[in-house]
Structure 1
Amino acid sequence: MFRTLVSVNTLALLTLVLTGCSSNSVTIIEEQPQLINKETGRFQNMDAGEKSYPLTCKQDCYKPRSDIQCDGNDICQYIGNKKLASQTTDFSVNWLGHAAFVIKTPTGERFLTDPVFNDFDWPINWLFSLDGGEQREMNVEATPELIAVTDAVLYSHLHYDHFNKSDIETIGRKPEYLVPLNVADHFPSIGANITELGWFSSKKIGDSLVTAVPAHHFSSRTFVPFIYEDNNKDSWSAWLIESKGETLFFAGDTGYSEHFKAISERYGDIDVCLLPIASYYSEESPEWYRYVHMTPEDALAAADDLNCKIFIPWGYGNASWGMGDLSSHSPLTRFLNMAEKIGTSAEIVILNEGESL
């Protein structure tokens, strides 16, 4: 594996040739040191520690809605108004399902976020099935046409529902891969061109600028989830894409914290925000789940912190796995109920899988 370390602070370029069988080319861009826990030596969140949240839904959270309809096969669709009332953007956004988006920038670059096309890597897909976990009602397909037009793939973190090695082999070496720090070591050996970016570090893809920014989450990649030896050895990120004076923010998995305000203070109002609203529910550990995933009302607060003009929620739906949620569309039900109750300055756009902004 070939790894290049780019330090903007020192303007030094250091190329390290490491022995091993991998043929991937890896560049590291870390414009400022990322936060490390002094006791553990692992990556940590910007706003670590106990949390207080602006609002928590306690009544009528899942009141049934006429604008969400399900058929006899548990395939649900949002049938409400999908038109933008006032805001416009030159970004094109197609939601494939879960965290996977196809993003076309105003200058024509195409990005793919967190693609997991069918199921988790083995053996997690098998273990998940044995445990009785929810399976996808719909799969996301990796078409040759999609791969052919993709300029870069953005991964937010290593969890199995966001990062799939077999899908990387399917996508192949044509697109560039932008990932958080230390994630390149988990790639299969396909001759990929990989760039690891620390928080607030950037890379140009065509005429678009892509910047890694903080998320409030964690990292692990083991057969037995959450064991300490693997926790937070690899980083996690959100992504900001700037093109022709417009910005798009993809949050990755994240809990609500002060990092949203820090991003807004640094980069200004965001034109299009892709924010998660699911996987916050757990009877066993409700506080921990919310610490690393946003409730729908947390996402509404985050949209206001970011001064989003257009807000597209994700994480619910037929192409998600139902992890930590009541049903495929319960997060969307709660989101719409809370949006009506508390409001937001952002223009909300609700998509079904396969639909586009």
Structure 2
Amino acid sequence: MIIALIIIAFLIVTFFAFTNFYPSFGGDVSKQQKLIYQKSEQFKNGKFNNTNPVPKDLSFSETAQLAYTFFTTTVPNGRPKADLKANKIDSTNIADYQGDARMIWFGHSSFLLQIDGKTILIDPMFGKVAAPLPLLGGNRFNEEFPLEIEKLPNIDAVIFSHDHYDHLDYESVLKIKDKTNHFYVPLGISTHLKAWDIPANKITELDWWQGTQLEGLKLVCTPAQHFSGRKLNNSQSTLWSSWVIQSKTENIYFSGDSGYATHFKEIGEKYGPFDLALMECGQYNDMWSDIHMMPEETAQAGIDVQAKKIMPIHWAGFKLALHEWTDPIKRVTKKAEELNLEVITPRIGEEIMVKDAINAYTNWWEEL
């Protein structure tokens, strides 16, 4: 019994030492920061909350059962049979671009946006796995990117939606931080960025419905229904969000991760209509439907935000749920057709013109 207790104590100490000192876990929100965050309507009882009382706090046994189900369930067609090849784009094409607003999808929820002569990255996650350690996650579906991170030109701004590993990646941040002018994040995310040696004067934190200006562009941090945390003891310590990006002539919405709720209509009424809405569609399950939309809800959310067209995101990147990898795109396109909503489906690396009325993309996933 004594030996068993010693082993358990050793494992606990090792775990907390590892999570406190291994850099990919990021930082911890200080007591001083929590005092500041009390001004936020979302911050109650020492943590951030959704407008609705979700997600449900799982017990240890429920968490263990969920993890066991995920890691032991075989999903037919859970991954593409071959690597998803990305359309390549030359670095000079990015550095010298002065045309109309366009986007390049890097897979999952990561984008490069060029608008008003500025280059912006949205949730730039270029890591191999969506986990703090390579052994803790499956490889992403695309081995290569449209353009390697090292070849990216100067970046005017980086926007993050929340601190989960498939959106905020330590190694990716290290590779872009010295060529990035400024970071825009929801409340609390600065804790991680500062832990990774990004100066505080290069970070702007915003609460829901707060906006800021980026040399003529309007950036608004808008609600989402999700959660946060990079280790067991800091759940809900940072805020999660969606984003509105507006120029004089373009209006873009990025959903981040979110369950379906009334905030989509609120955002549409306040900031819509949108030329393009990038809408979460993937990694869903009935067990966590309050924090990730089902594909049919994704299409309805596109209607709610008053989008002229939507692009499903958060799929074709990682296997983080128990559905087939093509299930999201099949179901959302079917529902969108019923709702008379246009859906664009570019390959990774294909150019996306924000205001282009011509949809020339193919059902490329059917080839795989």
Fold conserved between structures, TM > 0.5: yes
1:287 corresponds to: 287
Distance in 2, Cα, partners of 1:217 & 1:71: 27
1:211 corresponds to: 220
Distance in 2, Cα, partners of 1:50 & 1:122: 21
Q: Are positions 1:310 and 2:326 aligned together?
A: no
Deviation at 1:75, TM superposition (A): 4.2
CA contact (8 A) 1:35 1:46 kept: no
Distance 1:309 1:32, change over 3 A: farther
CA contact (8 A) 2:109 2:167 kept: yes
Deviation at 1:42, TM superposition (A): 1.2
Alignment match of 1:249 (pick from 235, 249, 253): 253
Distance in 1, Cα, partners of 2:46 & 2:199: 30
SS of equivalent residue, structure 2 residue 158: strand
- TM-score normalised by L of structure 1: 0.71
Alignment match of 1:350 (pick from 326, 338, 345): 345
1:9 corresponds to: none
Alignment match of 1:113 (pick from 122, 134, 141): 122
Q: Where in structure 2 are the equivalents of 1:140-151 lying within 5 Å?
A: 140=145, 142-146=148-152, 148-151=153-156
2:282 corresponds to: 278
Q: RMSD over aligned Cα, in angstroms? A: 3.0
User: Would you say how many aligned residue pairs link Structure 1 and Structure 2?
Assistant: 280
Q: Where in structure 2 are the equivalents of 1:8-19 lying within 5 Å?
A: none
Which AA in structure 2 matches 1:353? Answer: I
Distance 1:336 1:34, change over 3 A: same
Deviation at 1:136, TM superposition (A): 2.9
CA contact (8 A) 2:55 2:291 kept: no
Q: Are positions 1:173 and 2:161 aligned together?
A: no
Identity %: 31
Deviations 1:73-110 (A, max 9, x none): 26489xxxxxxxxxxx94312111101011122x2222
2:209 corresponds to: 200
Q: Are positions 1:73 and 2:71 aligned together?
A: no
CA contact (8 A) 2:277 2:307 kept: yes
SS of equivalent residue, structure 1 residue 260: helix
- TM-score normalised by L of structure 2: 0.69
2:237 corresponds to: 233
Distance 1:236 1:252, change over 3 A: same
Higher helix proportion (structure 1 or 2)? 2
Which AA in structure 1 matches 2:344? Answer: V
CA contact (8 A) 2:149 2:175 kept: no
User: Unaligned stretches of 5+ in structure 2?
Assistant: 1-26, 28-32, 57-78, 87-98, 353-368
Alignment match of 2:326 (pick from 326, 329, 339): 329
Distance in 2, Cα, partners of 1:178 & 1:327: 33
Distance 1:301 1:325, change over 3 A: same
Higher strand proportion (structure 1 or 2)? 1
SS of equivalent residue, structure 1 residue 112: strand
2:62 corresponds to: none
User: Unaligned stretches of 5+ in structure 1?
Assistant: 1-21, 52-69, 78-88
CA contact (8 A) 1:120 1:164 kept: no
Deviations 1:221-270 (A, max 9, x none): 11xxxx4x311110011111110142101111111100111112222312
2:93 corresponds to: none
